[in-house]
């Protein structure tokens, strides 16, 4: 599977899409949180959103290149997405935060599956 | 308009989507061209695809942040996309190259409009 | 000059170094400003620092690839760096902000020269 | 240590510098290898250089943000750098390839230490 191109691999296509969606929502949520201020704009929360946006972008790029090493990045990406989801949930019942948390959880799940598939 | 968030701006949403699509196709095309070899794998062509992928990513990220300065980046992005489209067309009637060229042209047009809107 | 590799071009080497330094300081300053809170953590200021960090990274990468189109990116980078410098100065006499402002100014100047060299 | 800022952590400062150096050399080596052609421009080799450049950039950015999750990224970065070093050595005694291989090895070692420090 390692040598298959991403376009011919439906699971990888789906994981790329999840990572891109998660990247987009995390970046938009940074702007939302800075605008809200207060606990939303705390250092740890904004940094997690920036971390999550960046590793999702990198993970998507490895898969778009059909890189043989994408599983290493997907594994790290799943950890960051999971942590970001928890932190967004901590912010309460704000619609934007809930949407970001759900997207991060789905992306974490997709990246874990992609990493496990390579290890198999 | 500068202070409006990207989610509430349909033109910006569309330009973000074009930049993300162009970024994805350019990165996939790098792998395709390296695989083909020959003129497809020439230094100037691969570098243009990498340039285009990267500035499209940066341009999308500026708009996702609802940055006041996104027009500066969109203007530069349009130039790079246009040049990349020409170079892909030069490669002949390969389906992948034609698809990449068309996406680059549409992204260039979208970025030019976004830059002009801010200058108005 | 367009076809010369970055390693053999001292002006380009210096501009790469300025962009990398400016990228690093802007990212570190994001963390500093979020930690400070108050006006330092305002949406517009953090977004400018993120914008500046990202376009400096992209600009450095174009030059590291010895891209023919680096002047387009350097021109946009100079505008963003200049704006970021002004915003950092607005924050008062904080040592970190002054250091960030000065680095942004030097990077803007270096990028303007690089862009002008190509236009000549 | 997780909450210490990168500027006050000499080991992290050194790892940031290694990642930035490795990122720069890998990108310059892409241009060099495409220029050389032949085995240097093979798909697998160029993709590894692009992978290594990108994860080094992401790893440096996590540390510049003093991210609590930088160890996850450093661990993945070490794997990619190690693989890239092996592939560069495979290219023979070209001076540029040897320099790239050595930098990748040093970066891999630095990232492994950074990851281990957090796990301790």
**CB pairs < 8 Å spanning B and D:** 25
Cβ distance of B16 and A24 shorter than 8 Å? yes
CA–chain centroid gap for C82, Å, is: 8
What mean pLDDT value characterizes chain D? Answer: 93
Chain A residue with the nearest C-alpha to that of B58 = A57
A3: pLDDT strictly greater than 70: no
Residue B4: predicted pLDDT: 63
Which tens digits make up the pLDDT trace of A46-98?
Answer: 999 999 999 999 999 999 999 999 999 999 999 999 999 999 999 987 899 99
Which of A41, A51, A54 to probe the C interface (max C CBs under 10 A)? A41
Q: Which of C34, C43, C50 sits opposite A43 (nearest CB)?
A: C34
Tell me the shortest Cα–Cα distance from A116 to chain B, in angstroms. 23
Q: What is the mean pLDDT of chain B?
A: 94
Euclidean distance between CA atoms B39 and B18, whole angstroms: 27
Using the predicted structure, report yes or no on whether residue B90 has a pLDDT greater than 50.
yes
C67 vs chain B: nearest CA distance in angstroms? 7
Confidence class for position D8, pLDDT limits 50, 70, 90: confident
- C69-103: string of b/e by CB count within 10 Å (b at 16+)? bbbbbbbbbbbbbbbbbebbbebeebebbeebbeb
* Mean pLDDT to the nearest integer, B2-8: 67
Region class of D38: left (phi > 0), else alpha (psi between -120 and 50), else beta: left
> Which of D49, D61, D71, D72 to probe the A interface (max A CBs under 10 A)?
D72
Residue C120: per-residue pLDDT: 57
Smallest CA–CA separation between C64 and chain D, in Å?
5
Partners of chain A (3+ Cβ pairs below 8 A) = B, C, D
Rounded Cα distance between B80 and B77, Å, is 5
- Residue of B9, B13, B21, B24 for testing the chain A interface, max A β-carbons within 10 Å: B24
pLDDT class of A2 with cuts at 50, 70, 90 = very low
Average pLDDT of the segment spanning B81-101: 94
Minimum mean pLDDT range among A65-69, B45-49, C71-75, D3-7: D3-7
Q: What is the pTM of this model?
A: 0.95
Residue ranges of chain C with pLDDT lower than 50? 1-3
What pLDDT does A97 receive? 96
Residue D40 with chain B: CB contacts under 8 Å: none
pLDDT in the model for residue B120: 57
- Residue contact A58–D58, C-beta within 8 A: yes
pLDDT given for residue D19 in this prediction: 98
Q: Is the pLDDT of residue B100 over 70?
A: yes
How confident is the model at residue D69, as a pLDDT? 97
What are the DSSP calls for B67-110, one per residue? -TTHHHHHHHHHHHHHHHHHHHHTT-S-HHHHHHHHHHHHHHHH
Q: Comparing B61 with D3, which gets the higher pLDDT? A: B61
> Across residues D8-17, what is the average pLDDT?
94
pLDDT given for residue D120 in this prediction: 57
Residue C28 is nearest to which of D6, D20, D27, comparing CB atoms?
Answer: D6
In the block, residue with structure tokens 């510098």: D17
User: With contact defined as beta carbons under 8 Å apart, do A42 and A77 qualify?
Assistant: no
pLDDT at A93: 76
Instruction: Give the span between the Cα atoms of D112 and D99, in whole angstroms.
Output: 20
CB contact under 8 A, D32 and C5: yes
């Amino acid at each position: 599977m390692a040598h298959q191109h991403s376009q011919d691999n439906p699971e990888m296509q789906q994981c790329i899409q999840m990572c891109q969606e998660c990247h987009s929502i995390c970046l938009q949520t940074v702007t939302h949180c800075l605008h809200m201020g207060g606990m939303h704009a705390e250092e740890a929360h904004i940094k997690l959103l920036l971390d999550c946006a960046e590793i999702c972008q990198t993970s998507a790029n490895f898969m778009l290149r059909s890189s043989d090493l994408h599983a290493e990045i997907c594994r790290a990406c799943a950890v960051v997405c999971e942590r970001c989801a928890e932190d967004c949930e901590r912010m309460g019942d704000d619609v934007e935060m809930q949407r970001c948390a759900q997207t991060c959880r789905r992306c974490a799940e997709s990246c874990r599956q992609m990493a496990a598939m390579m290890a198999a």
